[in-house]
A = this chain, B = another copy of it.
Amino acid sequence: MTKDQTVVRPGEAGGQAFERVLRWVDDRILSGELRVGDHLPPERELAKTLGVSRAAVREAVRTFQAQGVVRSAVGAGAAAGTTVTAVPAHALTRLLRLHVALANFPLPDVVEVRISLERLSARLASRHASDDDVDGMRQLLDHMAQPGIEREEFNDADTAFHVAIAASAGNLLAADLTAAMRESMRLPILDRFRRIDGWEHVIDELRHDHEAIYAAITDGQADDAARLVEDHIRRAWQTLGVGAPS
């Protein structure tokens, strides 16, 4: 029994080594001491400071990386090291996609939440969409309008269209959540696309819906845009979810 510092000392240590690192960084972010663009101390130094191994520090860094909160880069100079960032979109997408795949979030639930968010996005986009935003949507619509387009290609453009609306909403959280939500449904939707019989009919319906949404947004008709988006998602989901028509 030579150990006397491995014993849990609530006042200072507290649980796992890598959690000490988590808390150290957490505290500094929540208190505003660490801001976007700031550097974390080098791993070796942080390990020494907190009295843990470098491996523990790295595990904690991976945690923050998974949350889109830091970015690591090798090399020397200002660009190198571990930097505080704020790119949650990817992290949110990953998280939702995994949990959707685990059937923890049933698709009908996701659809319902998605409707809420996309209603908001469409409403905001009607007011804030810039000319560039509108151009981007137009291009996606034209792309989806190509005759004989493959289902996967259409699905990607469809996803991009909904994401474009969210991105132009001027509300980053709504945009990121909407994008993550639609992205997390990409595979399940594509699966259903592949199984569908009346593909040509379905795709025409989708195109029509999209055009109407586009028109409402460019006209600044927020209420219409919200309603059309909801109808669109519900209709599409019913078509895809229940099964192929006829």
Which residues of A are at the interface with B, using a C-beta cutoff of 8 A? 18, 26, 29-30, 32, 35-36, 55, 58-60, 62-69, 84, 86, 88, 91-92, 94-95, 97-99, 101-106, 109-110, 112-113, 116-117, 119-120, 124, 171-174, 177, 187
| Bound Cα distance A78, B64 (Å) | 30
* CB closest residue in chain B, given A112: B171
Whether the pair A97, B63 counts as a contact (CB closer than 8 A) is no
* CB closest residue in chain B, given A34: B102
| Bound Cα distance A67, B35 (Å) | 23
What would be 28 A-B contacts, judged by CB atoms less than 8 Å apart? A29-B101, A36-B102, A36-B104, A58-B59, A62-B62, A62-B66, A63-B63, A63-B65, A67-B94, A68-B99, A69-B102, A86-B99, A86-B104, A88-B95, A88-B104, A88-B105, A95-B95, A104-B172, A105-B172, A109-B171, A112-B120, A112-B173, A112-B174, A113-B171, A116-B117, A116-B119, A116-B174, A117-B117
* CB closest residue in chain B, given A84: B102
Whether the pair B120, A102 counts as a contact (CB closer than 8 A) is no
> Closest CB of chain B to A64's CB: distance in Å?
8
Whether the pair A177, B113 counts as a contact (CB closer than 8 A) is yes
Whether the pair A62, B92 counts as a contact (CB closer than 8 A) is no
Whether the pair B86, A102 counts as a contact (CB closer than 8 A) is yes
Q: Which residues of B contact A106 (CB under 8 A)?
A: 172
* CB closest residue in chain B, given A26: B98
User: Which listed residue, B65, B69, B110, B113, touches A117 by the CB 8 Å rule?
Assistant: B113
Whether the pair A18, B92 counts as a contact (CB closer than 8 A) is no
Decide yes or no: A172 and B91 within 8 Å by CB, A62-B18, A104-B86, A187-B30 being known contacts.
no
Whether the pair B113, A174 counts as a contact (CB closer than 8 A) is yes
The 5 closest A-B CB pairs, nearest first, are: A86-B104, A66-B66, A63-B66, A105-B173, A59-B62
> Closest CB of chain B to A30's CB: distance in Å?
5
| Bound Cα distance A18, B105 (Å) | 27
Q: Which residues of B contact A104 (CB under 8 A)?
A: 36, 86, 88, 172
User: Which listed residue, B26, B32, B35, B173, touches A113 by the CB 8 Å rule?
Assistant: B173
Q: Which residues of B contact A99 (CB under 8 A)?
A: 67-69, 86, 88
Q: Which residues of B contact A109 (CB under 8 A)?
A: 171-174
